[in-house]
Amino acid sequence: MTILYIFPHPDDESFGPAAAIHAQLKQGHQVYLYTLTRGGASRQRFKYNYTVEQMGEVRYKEMLDVERSLGLTGMRVDDFPDSGLKHMDPRDIERALEQHIDAVRPDIIVSYPVHGISGFHDHLIIHGIIKRVYLDMKDKGASYLRRLAFFTLPDSGKPTFNESENFWRLRQSEPDEIDCIVHLTDEDVDALRAALDCYVTYQETIKQADVPGHIDGKAHFEIFGESFSPPLSNLTDNLL
C-alpha cells in the first residue's frame, strides 16, 4: 500500500511518526513525505545568524539526510511561509495538497490531529485543510483514497510543554479517540533516533524533548470517520 505523510515543517516526521514509518517500510509499503515549508523561520536561525532563507536551505539539506536515513519511497518539500500558514489563502494550500496527493495516489494520508500535538498554529491549520481536501477529492472520484489518519499522543493528564499552572493545559487524544496503536521494535526506535540525528541544527531541542521517551515503544493514530476498539495494530489493517 501507499502511505503519504503530510506535515508543515521539517522534523515533524522525526519528532513524530518516524519509527512507525520505518515499520511500514519494513512491511513493504511505499511511504512518502510531503512537507509544506522549509522551516526557515525557526528560532534556531538566530543561534547561527542565518536569514530565514539560509535556515530553510540548511533544514532542507537535513531533510534530504532524513529521506536517505529512513529510506523513504519519495519526498517533496515546498516553500510556503514557515509560521505563516495562517496568513495564507487556504485555497492555495488546498490546491498544492490536491496536486501532490493526485501525483502520489496514496491509499492512506497521515497528518496532525486537531490539537496538533503541540498546539502550534501551523499544525492546527493543516488538520482542517487536509480533512477538507481528502473529503473533496473523494467526492470528486479519487477512489484510491481509503483512509485519513492523524499521528497523535495519548493525553497524559499533565501539562505538555509548560509545567506552570498559569498556562492552559493542552489536551491531546483521549483513549477512545485512538484507533491504531503500532507497537515498535528496538530497530524502529533506532531508526527514529537516526532520523533525529540528521537535524544537526536542532540537537539541543531534540535532547530536551526526549522524543523516544514520549513514544514509549508505541505510535498512536486517530482514524477519521472510523472507530476501532480494540485499536488496530497497523494503519493498513481493516481497509475496505
Tell me which H or E stretch contains 74. strand 74-77
Q: What is the pTM (predicted TM-score) of this model? A: 0.92
List domains and CATH numbers for the chain: 2-223 (3.40.50.10320)
- What would the grid cell of residue 45 be? 536561525
Mean pLDDT score of the chain: 91
**Please, are residues 149 and 109 in contact by the beta-carbon 8 Å criterion?**
yes
Residue 170 CB burial class (10 angstroms; 0-12, 13-18, ≥19): middle
Q: 118 with 13: CB under 8 angstroms?
A: no
Question: For each of the chain's 240 residues, which pLDDT tens digit applies?
Answer: 999 999 999 999 998 899 999 999 999 999 999 999 998 888 888 888 899 999 999 999 999 999 999 999 999 999 999 989 999 999 999 999 999 999 999 999 999 999 988 888 888 999 999 999 999 999 999 999 999 999 999 887 765 555 445 555 678 899 999 999 999 999 999 999 999 999 998 888 788 777 777 778 999 999 999 999 999 999 999 997
CA 63 – CA 103 distance, rounded (Å): 21
